[in-house]
Amino acid sequence: DALADADKTGFVIVLAAERLPVLETIELHAQLVRSGVDVAGLVVNKRLPDGLQGFLAERKSQEDIHLATLNDSLGQVTRQDLQLAPADVLGVDALRAFASQF
């Protein structure tokens, strides 16, 4: 089965840095591992940047707390955090610009 062949397939879980998505990711990871599916990585989408004030600083603090929970459970899994973009990534040019960050 191709899904269980780590040489051919790796599952990447994409999540938000919020309590429920983190808990769901931990559970999904466990289910995938039990099923023999390789989890190749995690992508945390729409992270707030550092240096914010007020409400957004509080939200960033909450993100950090939730991601500490994720790290405690799945710290061995490669993780990429993507910052919140000022606009949606739509079209080839926007996708190229986004990809150039890495």
Alpha-carbon distances, residue 99 vs 58, 61, 88, 89, 93 (angstroms): 29, 27, 13, 10, 10
- Give the confidence band of 34 by pLDDT, cuts at 50, 70, 90: very high
- Give the confidence band of 97 by pLDDT, cuts at 50, 70, 90: confident
Mean pLDDT value of segment 17-42? 97
Q: What is the pTM of this model?
A: 0.87
* Three-state SS at 79: strand
- CA angle, residues 88, 41, 63, in degrees to nearest 5: 60
The per-residue pLDDT for range 46-71, each reduced to its tens digit, is: 999 999 999 999 999 999 999 999 99
Q: What is the CATH number of domain 2-99?
A: 3.40.50.300
Yes or no: say if 22 and 66 are a contact pair by the CB < 8 Å rule.
Answer: yes
Mean pLDDT value of segment 91-98? 90
What are the sequence ranges of the domains in the chain?
2-99
Give the position of tokens 């040489």. Answer: 7
Which of these, 63, 50, 52, lies nearest to 16 by C-alpha position?
63
d(CA 41, CA 75): 11
